[in-house]
Amino acid sequence: MSVLKVRGLTLGYNRTDAVKGIDLDVAEGAVVSLIGANGAGKTTTLRGLSGLLKARAGSVLFQGAEMAGQPAYKITRAGVIQVPEGRQVFANMTIEENLRMGAYLVQDKAEIARRRVGVLERFPRLGERLQQLAGLLSGGEQQMLAIGRALMADPKLLLLDEPSMGLAPLFIEEIFAIIRALKVEGRTILLVEQNAQAALEVSDHAYVLESGRIKLQGPATEIASNPEVIAAYLGAA
Amino acid sequence: MFAQILQQLPQQLLNGLVLGSTYALFALGFTLMFGVLGVINLTYGFYFTTAAFLALYGSKLLALPIWLALPGAALLAGLIAVLLDAILLTPLRRKKAPELSSLMVTLGATLLLYSLMTATFGTEIRRLPPAIISHAAIMLGGVRMNLSQILIVVTTVLIVAALLAVIRFTRFGLSMRSMAENGEAAELMGVNTDAVVRLVSFISGALGGTAGVLIGLNFNAIQPYMGETMMLKGFAVIIIGGLGDIKGALIAGLVIGVLEVLTAGFISSDIKDAVGFILLVATLWFRPVGLFGRAPAKRA
Ligand SMILES: Nc1ncnc2c1ncn2[C@@H]1O[C@H](COP(=O)(O)OP(=O)(O)OP(=O)(O)O)[C@@H](O)[C@H]1O
Ligand SMILES: [Mg+2]
């Protein structure tokens, strides 16, 4: 069953539409990837889903409820949690405070503590320096923190925007290992990536976005063996 | 000569503390607004003026007692701040307009508001009816003070303590700090940023208003442009203290107040108003982020 059902979603800036009426489904417990070239509209799509950008047309049903037109904080409250492009950790807050912000909507102290333990088990590196300012972490560590912060919200749908961007190969592997682990635990994830190869490997289903339109979609294995996709996104560049 | 200075010092320090308290209160609201909302809102000085006039008319025309007129005026100034923010700045925020446009809009609004005030009330300088509070001297270890001075210092201490506690220990404090850093990320965490904007506008306006009514209580200073004069001081205080830094604004406000009074007392009252700006320039030379401000934590 689809937890997320997007129909005819149109988003844009000023006078131009950057995303032009896309349809997209994410099944419960699935990892779905959205791949495409620079400027295809991937980030725009995620910002539309999380409410940072208002939909110009179309519908975004999350667990049957309409999210289009809702402010971002209400979409967060519904359980759709975005890890934004460029991580956007709170640079002048400590790691501890960043994690606390992730659970901003949670009132129950015991529940916050429980989630914190889970996040620190997953990211021991964060636990070693809880009092350090997030802005001083390396890019890879900041990405871990951004994901850890999102997990503090116990997402029903996790939106990841290029988590591997700008990271060293070792960190990229670690990020994809984390995504695989989250999938095994049953998390539902919509993953935006330029690293198409790695994204398709962890995904069940994939969409290819080109100039704001869905060009192709299907099971990830099928997309990965599609000659057009191989030529455009997977071939030796 | 030296003995005389030493003898006067405690008295001057107290007077400086009283003046500095009003600077600190005023600067707190200004720095909070800038820090959390990310705009330099030039209408801020108007809340200071407005509250002083509200307290004046509340106590004169309605014969309100001091404990009603002063807090009431400050809270009303807070409400006006919310209203002005909604009219002037919320539309710009929606459009993600560049920072310069909010500066321009608030500058225009400020000029308009002050002209309206002047047209209505004239430029005559007034003060709150003296009968509103006892001005009898209270002697304490050779230092002379009165009830209004005590009220100013005590109010400042209480408000600052409450503000720091709210920022440090409450969820609302967390939402303000996260917005100060990154509004979009705060929204993604579930912060209702529109609500925080309103609440911060209210608190800031009320802080400016509190400074206004307290000044009106102790000094002969109520006139439409009193807020403008204060804004200049406010700028000096928040830049010296570090933009957006609460503790910095508090300390810088007190320091400037004390230095001004000492300058007036021992050197010349003509250059008293220059003190803050000399300190400002000196600070910017040696520490461009302000005395207490810290450079943002970012790795190159
Ligand atoms: N804030 C903005 N204002 C105006 N146009 C924008 C803005 N952000 C993105 N665009 C435009 O919208 C289109 C889609 O951009 P988007 O950021 O969604 O692409 P993307 O697929 O995420 O690219 P990348 O892989 O480089 O992150 C581009 O043409 C871009 O120039
Ligand atoms: Mg992008």
User: What integer pLDDT is reported at residue A207 of this predicted model?
Assistant: 97
**Tens digit of each residue's pLDDT, chain B (300 residues):** 677 778 888 899 999 999 999 999 999 999 999 999 988 899 999 999 999 999 999 998 888 888 899 999 999 999 999 999 999 999 998 888 888 899 999 999 999 999 999 999 988 898 888 878 888 888 888 888 888 899 999 999 999 999 999 999 999 999 999 999 999 999 999 999 999 999 999 999 999 999 999 998 888 789 999 999 899 999 999 999 988 888 899 999 999 999 999 999 888 888 888 888 898 999 888 888 777 766 666 553
HSE-up of residue B149 (Cα within 13 Å, Cβ side): 20
Name every chain A residue with its beta carbon within 8 A of the beta carbon of B297: 91-92, 133-136
As a whole number of angstroms, the distance between CA B11 and CA B37 comes to 39
As a whole number of angstroms, the distance between CA B129 and CA B48 comes to 18
The domain locations on chain B are: 14-119+142-224
A157 touches chain B (CB under 8 A): no
Give the tens place of pLDDT for each residue, A35-88: 999 999 999 999 999 999 999 999 999 999 999 999 999 999 999 999 999 999
B214 touches chain A (CB under 8 A): no
User: What integer pLDDT is reported at residue B245 of this predicted model?
Assistant: 85
| % of chain A exceeding 90 in pLDDT | 92
A214 bridge partner residues: A209
User: ipTM, 2 decimals?
Assistant: 0.94
Q: Are B261 and B14 in contact (CB under 8 A)?
A: no
As a whole number of angstroms, the distance between CA B287 and CA B275 comes to 18
Nearest CA in chain A to B95: A14
Element (H, E) at A21: strand A16-27
Q: Are B224 and B117 in contact (CB under 8 A)?
A: yes
Nearest CA in chain A to B195: A73
Q: Which of A47, A39, A5, A1 shows the shortest CA–CA distance to A22?
A: A5
User: What integer pLDDT is reported at residue B293 of this predicted model?
Assistant: 67
- Structural domain A2-85+155-233, CATH architecture: 3-Layer(aba) Sandwich (3.40)
Q: What is the DSSP string of B182-193?
A: -HHHHHHTT--H
As a whole number of angstroms, the distance between CA A124 and CA A148 comes to 11
User: Which atom of ligand 1 lies at the shortest distance from residue A209's CA?
Assistant: 21
A17's CB contacts (< 8 A; 6+ apart) are A10, A11, A56, A212
Mean of per-residue pLDDT scores for chain A: 95
CB contact under 8 Å between B174 and A52, yes or no, is: no
Cα–Cα distances in angstroms (integers) from residue B40 to residues A5, A184, B34, B244, B256, in the given order:
42, 49, 6, 11, 21
As a whole number of angstroms, the distance between CA A176 and CA A191 comes to 11
Q: Which two tokens stand for residue A38?
A: 């620079």
Residue A43 Cβ contacting ligand 1 at under 6 Å: yes
Name every chain A residue with its beta carbon within 8 A of the beta carbon of B191: 73, 104
Is the Cα dihedral A96, A102, A105, A111 positive or negative? negative
Q: Are B196 and B182 in contact (CB under 8 A)?
A: no
As a whole number of angstroms, the distance between CA A51 and CA A71 comes to 6
Name every chain B residue with its beta carbon within 8 A of the beta carbon of A149: 189
Is the Cα dihedral B244, B250, B253, B255 positive or negative? negative
B109's CB contacts (< 8 A; 6+ apart) are B42, B43, B84, B88
B171-190 in b/e form (b: 16+ CB < 10 A) is ebebbbbbbbbbbbbbbbbb
Q: Is A207 helix (H, G, I), strand (E, B) or coil?
A: strand
A102 touches chain B (CB under 8 A): yes
Mean pLDDT in residue range A2-16: 95
Mutate to test the pocket of ligand 1, among A33, A34, A44, A50 (most ligand atoms within 8 A of CB): A44
Give the tens place of pLDDT for each residue, A120-169: 999 999 999 999 999 999 999 999 999 999 999 999 999 999 999 989 99
B188 touches chain A (CB under 8 A): yes
User: What integer pLDDT is reported at residue B61 of this predicted model?
Assistant: 87
Q: Are A23 and A214 in contact (CB under 8 A)?
A: yes
CB contact under 8 Å between A88 and B192, yes or no, is: no
Who wins on pLDDT, A1 or B12?
B12
A81 bridge partner residues: A158
B177 touches chain A (CB under 8 A): yes
Q: Are B63 and B130 in contact (CB under 8 A)?
A: no
Among protein residues, the one whose CA lies closest to atom 29 of ligand 1: A39
A&B contacts, CB < 8 Å: 78
A92 touches chain B (CB under 8 A): yes
User: What integer pLDDT is reported at residue B217 of this predicted model?
Assistant: 86
As a whole number of angstroms, the distance between CA B116 and CA B98 comes to 28
pTM for the structure as a whole: 0.91
Q: Which ligand is nearest to the CA of B96?
A: 1
As a whole number of angstroms, the distance between CA A88 and CA A137 comes to 12
CA-CA-CA-CA dihedral for A47, A50, A52, A58, to nearest 10 = 80
As a whole number of angstroms, the distance between CA A217 and CA A195 comes to 17
As a whole number of angstroms, the distance between CA B264 and CA B273 comes to 9
Residue A87 Cβ contacting ligand 1 at under 6 Å: no
Q: Are A104 and B171 in contact (CB under 8 A)?
A: yes
B53-71 in b/e form (b: 16+ CB < 10 A) is bbbbebbeeeebebeebbb
Give the tens place of pLDDT for each residue, A172-220: 999 999 999 999 999 999 999 988 999 999 999 999 999 999 999 999 9
A57 CA distance to ligand 1 centroid (A)? Answer: 18
Residue type at A51?
Answer: G
CB contact under 8 Å between A73 and B185, yes or no, is: no
As a whole number of angstroms, the distance between CA B113 and CA B107 comes to 10
B40 CA distance to ligand 2 centroid (A)? Answer: 31
Residue A84 Cβ contacting ligand 1 at under 6 Å: no
Give the tens place of pLDDT for each residue, A14-45: 889 999 999 999 999 999 999 999 999 999 99
Name every chain B residue with its beta carbon within 8 A of the beta carbon of A138: 299
Q: Is B199 helix (H, G, I), strand (E, B) or coil?
A: helix
Residue A13 Cβ contacting ligand 1 at under 6 Å: yes
The domain locations on chain A are: 2-85+155-233
Residue A41 Cβ contacting ligand 1 at under 6 Å: yes
B178 touches chain A (CB under 8 A): yes
Distance of CA B75 to the CA centre of its chain: 14
Name every chain A residue with its beta carbon within 8 A of the beta carbon of B294: 92
As a whole number of angstroms, the distance between CA A40 and CA A11 comes to 12
As a whole number of angstroms, the distance between CA A94 and CA A208 comes to 37
Who wins on pLDDT, B170 or A237?
B170
CB contact under 8 Å between B297 and A91, yes or no, is: yes
CB contact under 8 Å between B190 and A136, yes or no, is: no
B267's CB contacts (< 8 A; 6+ apart) are none
As a whole number of angstroms, the distance between CA A80 and CA A91 comes to 23
Shortest Cα distance from B189 to chain A (angstroms)?
6
A192 bridge partner residues: A34, A161
Q: What is the DSSP string of B90-103?
A: HHHHHTT--HHHHH
User: What integer pLDDT is reported at residue B126 of this predicted model?
Assistant: 86
